[in-house]
Structure 1
Amino acid sequence: MNDHIQDFLHFLIVEKGLSENTIAAYRRDLTNYAKFLQMELQLNHFNEVTRSHILQYFAKCKKDGKSSKTLARYVASIRSFHLFLLRDKVTDQDPTVHIESPQVDVKLPRVLSVAEVDALLKAPDMSQMYGIRDQAMLELLYATGMRVSELLQLNKDDVHLTMGFVRCIGKGNKERIIPIGEHAIHAVKQYITAARPKLMSKNKPNTEALFLNHLGNRLSRQGFWKILKQLAEKAGIEKDLTPHTLRHSFATHLLENGADLRAVQEMLGHADISTTQIYTHVTKTRLKEVYKQFHPRA
């Protein structure tokens, strides 16, 4: 069974060009699925799997407390996998037919206020090279709405400070060009001239990565996560921040100030505008809060 999963993952990498994070998610989903089939149902080949077996697996996942969003992802992963097996003639039927994805509860993204973003951007210690780097990262994230994985994959040549834009490679290896403002340009320029040369390792003097850790290597997601938590605490932000919070805040603040939804979609790199539309719900929710707080008849 594991061999078929590896063949499918190879197909996703070569044919679909999916990101490492997406491939890792497929691997986890399908490994757990295959383990259930083998250990719980005593099945040894995917051709033995029926719709009933898959429903039993989803029932177990639900009993284990998996959210509707996670279950919907499992359905998508397993459906794509069985379609692949059928096309490759590993199986002679698709047991996922007529299995519906669960209704996903739409959770509004948590966003920072403009004042909270300002406090976070001022939190790094600019007398230290790490503080200069951290401010450049935060300014660039808030200026562009990039995913953290996209930010950390940037190379020095991807940032064009004179022209005022950054070149970003998003999901599915899709390239997009995002404009950046004066604050981000200044912060990145300061980092490249004053801090990055000090962070570069003597063993890797020609490294292309834009944001470096103390060893001169490309900064990791875990490294960024630690930095963000420390700076949020220093800024006095009590909200539960995630690396996506600045991305959510970027989109919400743009729409609140009258930005076109299509333009925001393009900057975020969303394939479907319905994904971007969630931020319009956020702005409406905030409008209601303002109304309740300030209208004398509310």
Structure 2
Amino acid sequence: MSALAPTLQAFFTDRLIRQRQASPHTIAAYRDAFKLLLAFTCHRTGSTPSRLRIEELTAPLIGDFLNHLETERGNSVRTRNARLAAIHSLFRYAALRHPDHADSIQRVLAIPPKRFDRAIVTYLTEPEIDALLQAPDRNTWTGRRDRTMLAVAIQTGLRASELTTLTISDVHLGTGAHISCHGKGRKQRITPLTSGTVTMLRTWLAERAASPPIQCFLPAAAVSSAAMPWNDASQNTPAQPHKHVPH
């Protein structure tokens, strides 16, 4: 067995999991990057993954791998730079364990990320926000949920993953109403809510109160019993149950 295999395994178990306490998403992204790199290197050198050596992962080969990602796999520059960041992280770890390969490791670490044009992040105007909130059908359960979810997303700027995993305990509608979110990078964020969003959330949470899951915006399949018709969608009041009149 070469020195690369135990170094790569220790990088995951010691560096990422124990020292950095990386999230499962980060670990999975690094795993995929190295799977692609090992497959490319084995195809190029004819070696098996267990026999690859650190000195075979040269800077020119890493450069060819990055070009392969863009030209043959059709990856974006952002993805290419993310793969390079994973490789850099591994080689910085390997530099401490294998100083005898310091020269080749330094050459890989010198590979810069690729520059790319960044899109300007714009904002929604008031008419656009109104049109977006009016789009869901408030006569349906999913429409009322989607309208509330859109209002929260517009005000708080939560990511889609953060929004869908938001729990009832994260929503505070008393004095100083706000939403607490434990999001990307294990960062805790507190975002205040306006009175209009508070009213909308109170109405929504009252409707889904009987549903057992703790998610604030749970899937429709989880709450088939919560889809109750409304008399007047503009009034935000539940309809009275229909009474059967015998003939």
TM-score under structure 1 length normalisation: 0.62
Partner of 2:29: 25
Closer/same/farther in 2, CA of residues 56 and 15 from structure 1, 3 Å limit:
same
Alignment of 1:153 with 2:165, yes or no, is: yes
Counterpart Cα distance in 2 of 1:119 and 1:30: 45
Partner of 2:217: 211
Is the 2:91–2:108 contact (alpha carbons within 8 Å) kept by the matching residues of 1?
yes
**1:235-290, CA deviations, whole angstroms, 9 ceiling, x for partnerless residues?**
xxxxxxxxxxxxxxxxxxxxxxxxxxxxxxxxxxxxxxxxxxxxxxxxxxxxxxxx
Closer/same/farther in 2, CA of residues 167 and 13 from structure 1, 3 Å limit:
farther
How many corresponding residue pairs?
A: 210
Higher relative contact order (CA 8 A, sep 6+): 1
Matched AA of 2:134: K
Question: Structure 1 residue 175: deviation in Å?
Answer: 0.8
Question: Structure 1 residue 5: deviation in Å?
Answer: 5.1
Counterpart Cα distance in 1 of 2:22 and 2:46: 32
Closer/same/farther in 2, CA of residues 190 and 16 from structure 1, 3 Å limit:
farther
Counterpart Cα distance in 2 of 1:177 and 1:91: 48
Percent of matched pairs sharing the same residue = 28
What's the C-alpha RMSD, in Å, of the aligned pairs?
A: 2.7
Question: Structure 1 residue 210: deviation in Å?
Answer: 1.9
SS in structure 1 of the partner of residue 31 of structure 2: helix
Matched AA of 1:169: H
Closer/same/farther in 2, CA of residues 62 and 214 from structure 1, 3 Å limit:
closer
Alignment of 1:137 with 2:137, yes or no, is: no
Counterpart Cα distance in 2 of 1:189 and 1:168: 18
Alignment of 1:40 with 2:44, yes or no, is: yes
Matched AA of 1:146: L
Question: Structure 1 residue 46: deviation in Å?
Answer: 4.6
Counterpart Cα distance in 1 of 2:136 and 2:160: 18
SS in structure 1 of the partner of residue 39 of structure 2: helix
SS in structure 1 of the partner of residue 108 of structure 2: coil
Closer/same/farther in 2, CA of residues 121 and 90 from structure 1, 3 Å limit:
farther
SS in structure 2 of the partner of residue 210 of structure 1: coil
Larger Cα-atom Rg: 2
Partner of 1:165: 178
Closer/same/farther in 2, CA of residues 6 and 143 from structure 1, 3 Å limit:
farther
The runs of 5 or more residues in structure 2 that have no matched partner are 224-247
Partner of 1:251: none
Equivalent residue runs for 1:60-79 within 5 Å: 60-64=68-72, 65-79=74-88
Matched AA of 1:135: R
Equivalent residue runs for 1:171-250 within 5 Å: 171-197=184-210, 200=211, 205=212, 207-216=213-222
Is the 2:91–2:109 contact (alpha carbons within 8 Å) kept by the matching residues of 1?
no
The runs of 5 or more residues in structure 1 that have no matched partner are 218-298
Partner of 1:82: 91
TM-score under structure 2 length normalisation: 0.73
Question: Structure 1 residue 188: deviation in Å?
Answer: 1.6
Counterpart Cα distance in 2 of 1:144 and 1:104: 28
Partner of 1:50: 58
Matched AA of 2:190: I
